[in-house]
Chains A and B, each alone.
Chain A
Amino acid sequence: MPTNPSVPNPYLPTPMRVLRAYFESTDRTLKTLELSFENLADKIAFFKKFNPGQFCQLSVFGKGESPLGVASAAWEGDFVRFTVQRMGSVTKALHELKPGDTLGMRGPLGNGFPLADWKGKNLVIIGGGCAFSTLYALTKHVQHPQNRPDFGQLTVIYGARSSGLCMYKHDIQSWYQRDDMEIHQAIDVPEENWDHHVGYVPDVVRQIAPSPDNAVAIVCGPPIMTKFTLPALVSLGFPPEAIFTSLEKRMKCGLGKCGRCNIGSKYICKDGPVFSLAELNALPADI
């Protein structure tokens, strides 16, 4: 019997302000927003819970909410970064925001990456398109000198349709100079002045053939990429327990109540969005 009616309203967003807003891609479909907290208490509460791989519901009042993966690591500063692809009515409104504008945010939501389980392991991070944003957060997290010793080798494979659609260009360019990680970038079709890989992500993964020894692979990308990358990893010898992916589905509450992201016995928002392939295989094909 429920007894405690004085719980906070979990649908109430925390007020945020746009700190920086800039386009990521040359076609202007991807825009990065960096948001700062209006209230100190909200900031403390957020970073207490935050873990890469989690997402937030961003609110543009009058338009609605949209779930977006966090694209920054906690050590980067007192802000939260999101990269938004313009798709529907809310993401369009998010694209229209300018520095100084206010908006709402609920989160962090979901489970995030199981970093504690990955201690001491080699990480193979494979991303495609704008879904790379949460993997960017993961990479940034691992790169921090305090966290880096917790993990073994770090390999990042990032594919985009074209060089114009590659996100976080400046930063990723600097990764080539780092000696604590390997970075591979790929685009779908050849372009002039592109001296990295060309081809689809699953093929690039096969070509690079990361070792499955003491490693976990994390795959985030469009459904079609994920669909073909997972078997590629299996064929390289990664067991289903060592392959992780992040799912997305239409979401509203983000709390496992509204029912929308239900898939079999799980709610993606609450039990995910990060699942191992082993967990996924146990779920019905309802995505």
Chain B
Amino acid sequence: MKYLLPKNELYSRLARWSAEYSILAPQKVGEYSEFLPFTAQSELCLQEPHNTRYPAKALFFPQSETILKYNRISGQLESAAPESQKRIVFGIRPCDAKAVTLLDTVFAEGDNQDPFWLARRAETFLIGLGCHEPCATCFCTSTESGPFHTEGLDALLTDLGEVFFVETLSERVEALFSELSPAEAAQQEIALAVQAAAEKSLPKVFELDGIKEKLDRVFDKEIWAELSQSCLGCGICTFLCPTCFCFDLVDEAQRGTRVRNWDTCMYRVYSLEASAHNPRPTRRERTRQRLMHKYSYWWEHAGKLGCTGCGRCVRYCPVGLDIRAMIKKASAYESEAQHAN
């Protein structure tokens, strides 16, 4: 169904929903925005072209969480799986919503499903806000996504100035919007025009066709040394990435808990073995792993690209490394001979 949500009714609408749901929406923290619980005092940040700085995956897969508690003396163990909670994530961007569906393939499919992910995911509605002004660092149109991509969303909002054009995408959120006035054909046309214009403002930076094969071919080539030369080896690109899911399990001996923390293949210690052997000893191998995982291995694991083009890694890389340029260079690098010329 299609509805119109006047902007001046937004806060009262959210307040009404908040009786039944806890609502998470982007709000300003200093210079950036972050998903925070909506309260009567909240001021939403929906106009900023930039996405929230911290990725929305954290709402389902927090950076640090206790997975079990133990008592070393009694030997008692206790699982710390969370309770499912009715939540609405309001204003999530399409790239982040798509990323959540990508992470479903890791945590919610096949054997050994992750109860932590499932509990947070089951009753959480994703109400997305399309990007009518995509940023120059965004590249969702190149990554099987787009500024108004609907994958993973329960509803999608299009900013039409005074009103949001709402398109519901799943049965389960229909009741939330049923009191709103339905959108007419004219408004839908305006919305489509806004969506098309946004899409057009973001031309593709690379074609995905054959990119996996091209990258697989250059796996052991020198290009990775060149691409990773200025890399600092920090965790920004992976921690801010909405699809990176690597984690570490650590015993906090002083608390008696085993916690799960985000981890990143960009750290030296990530792959360092107790014998001191490190299969990825330099930034060259680590950078390669990050890019190959997203642009080659994901396809084999899940049949999908592991990047949604949100642009966070481009925007916040402290040395200005741009994954778009890196992928382009790597996939264009066919042979050492060509490089020498």
Contact = CB atoms under 8 A, between A and B. Distances in A.
Q: Is there direct touching of A and B in the complex, by C-beta distance under 8 Å?
A: yes
A15 B77 contact: yes
A15 B297 contact: no
Given A64-B251, A91-B274, A11 B285 contact: no
Interface residues of A, number: 43
Contact of A9 (B67, B280, B300): B67
Nearest to B74: A102
Interface in A184-231: 223
Nearest to A10: B112
B118 A250 contact: no
Contact of A260 (B72, B253, B270): B270
Contacts of B251: 61-64
Nearest to B299: A265
B247 interface: yes
Q: How big is chain B's contact interface, by range?
A: 35 or more
A7 B113 contact: yes
B68 A260 contact: no
Interface stretch (B6-14, B103-111, B316-324): B103-111
B219 A62 contact: no
A9 B115 contact: yes
A250 B273 contact: yes
Given A249-B279, A286-B289, A13 B77 contact: yes
B260 A11 contact: yes
B72 to A, nearest CB: 5
Contact of A4 (B104, B118, B280): B118
Interface string A263-287: 0110000000000000000001111
Interface in B250-304: 250-251, 253, 256, 258, 260, 263, 265, 270-275, 277, 279-280, 285, 289, 292-293, 296-297, 300-301
A2 B122 contact: yes
Contacts of A285: 219-220
A5 interface: yes
**Residue of A61, A62, A65, A260 contacting most chain B CB atoms (<10 Å):** A61
A256 interface: yes
Contacts of B275: 87
Contacts of A6: 115
A11 B68 contact: yes
A259 B113 CA distance: 15
19 contacts: A1-B104, A8-B115, A10-B115, A11-B67, A11-B249, A15-B77, A87-B274, A102-B75, A104-B77, A249-B271, A252-B249, A255-B112, A257-B114, A257-B245, A258-B246, A258-B249, A260-B246, A262-B289, A264-B296
Interface of B: 67-68, 70, 72, 75, 77, 79-81, 84, 104, 106-108, 111-115, 117-119, 121-122, 216, 219-220, 245-251, 253, 256, 258, 260, 263, 265, 270-275, 277, 279-280, 285, 289, 292-293, 296-297, 300-301
